[in-house]
Amino acid sequence: MWFNLNHVCYFSITIILSIFFTTHVYASSEENTLPKCVYHSLLLIYPSVDVTYIDGGYVKRFSGTMSDNLLSKIISAYAGLDLLISELSGGAVESTHEIVVVPKPLKKISPLPYGYWPSPEDVMEDLKYYAPPGTYDSVFVVWYNGPINLNYFGLGGVFINNKTTIYSVIASHEEWVWTYGGRPGEVFLHEMLHGVEIFFSELGYPMPEGGLHGGEIHGYVWSYENGWTEWYRDFMQGRVWEPKLGRYTGIPKEAWSEHCSPRVKMIRDFHKEISKIMSEYNSLNQEYNSLRNNYNSLNQEYNSLRNNYTRLINSCNLISQEVSKIIDEHKSLKNSYDILKQEYDEFKNFCDSLFNSCNISSNNYTSLINIRYSGVNQVSGKEKNIYNFMLIFLLFFLVTGILIFFMKFRNQRQELISSNI
């Protein structure tokens, strides 16, 4: 819960009236060589109110405006805050301030266990307008409580704007409260320090027992001239000796310098995150460039391999075409061979048949010759002529057949060779 009543300060008027008037002497010769922390504060003052509240079981309405003198005293006290912060922090913290006198009356207040206060929700619209996130480290809302009884002077330890702005509320009360004693602006410093205390405690810096309200138990006293500023001085400079811890507590200078305020820490954390992201970006960019170079190198190799592959594919295609062509020629030659083989076989058969016929004729001729020479007297001249004629006819028939088939075979072979070519 962003608003915790344990963090609420009840800077009661009765306590102010009961404190002692003593002083502490402060002197610091330390040189502040660390970066300055600057708190930007805003006073949002509501001089007019128009609110409904419950008092004694009765619902009441209060509508009124504070006097100009009261308004002037409040603004004058607030103007002293810058000096207090700078002086009491030993120069570790500087402060700037702005004042907005809200022209419209405060319309809503929220109940507390004892009294009322303008919660951040009650003044949300004005906070959005006057104190957007990232603008101020500390915002003070001062309101005119008129007849509304309160048991507090100021309330602190509350945060707004996603916990980057300290939110404090201070009631106007009457004029004398603002000039009763202490340093001008002390109540503003006190309420702001509640938020500061929480901020640095959460960062791990040990605080004195009792926190910001632990002045008395550590031996500090209030004085009319200086109020509680001696306590705040040691508190803001990390010089409160804590016997239970055996060490100094509070907020040391280096803590102010390193973290400053929730708003500054948020901005510095943001810058660190940006620096980290930029560092990671640069690292990734280098890796990217390295990978890109590797990619370009691999791409060149790939293109080279792709060209070689293309050449191989072209060679394969040419070889494949040659193989196809050879296969086709082989098929054609085989067909030619088969045809020639068939022609050869036919011619051979014809030759064999012809030679058989020739042998038969030759045998017949031989037989006739033998018959002639063995029975020469029995063969007349007419028979001799018949035999010779038959022999010549057979020889003519044989030679003519051979020539015809030889010519036919040769022509077919030439036709096949020409077609293959």
For binding to Zn ion (CB under 5 A), which residues are involved? 9
Q: Which residue has the tokens 């309330």?
A: 155
The upper half-sphere exposure of residue 391, i.e. CA atoms within 13 Å in the direction of its Cβ, equals 14
Phi and psi angles of residue 24, each rounded to the nearest 5 degrees, phi first: -120, 145
Q: Judge residue 209's burial from the number of C-beta atoms within 10 Å of its C-beta, 0-12 exposed, 13-18 middle, 19 or more buried.
A: middle
Write the burial class of residue 41 (CB in 10 Å: 0-12 exposed, 13-18 middle, 19+ buried): buried
Cα distance between the two ends of the chain: 103
Residue pair 39/137 in contact by the 8 Å Cβ criterion: yes
Q: How far is the CB of 261 from Zn ion (least distance, A)?
A: 18
Q: Which is nearer to Zn ion, 154 or 238 (CB)?
A: 154
Spatial distance between the Cα atoms of 189 and 54, rounded to a whole number of angstroms: 31
**Spatial separation of the C-alpha atoms in residues 326 and 182, rounded to whole Å:** 118
Instruction: Give 185: exposed, middle or buried? Use CB within 10 Å, 0-12, 13-18, 19+.
Output: buried
Least separation in angstroms between residue 186's CB and Zn ion is 11
User: Residue 12's CB: how many other CB atoms inside 10 A?
Assistant: 14
Enter the DSSP assignment of 160: E
What's the alpha-carbon Rg for the chain, to the nearest Å?
62
Angle (deg, nearest 10), helices 229-236 and 81-88: 50
Pairing of strands 93-101, 58-65: unpaired
Our separate counts of H helices and E strands in the chain read: 9, 11
Query: What type of residue sits at position 328?
Result: D
* Position of minimal CB gap to Zn ion: 9
Contact 329, 419 (CB under 8 A): no
Distance between CA atoms of residues 133 and 127, nearest Å: 9
Give CA–CA dist 4/262, Å, rounded: 17
Q: Comparing C-alpha atoms, which of 120, 134, 78 is closest to residue 101?
A: 78
- Tell me the pairing of strands 115-117 and 138-143: unpaired
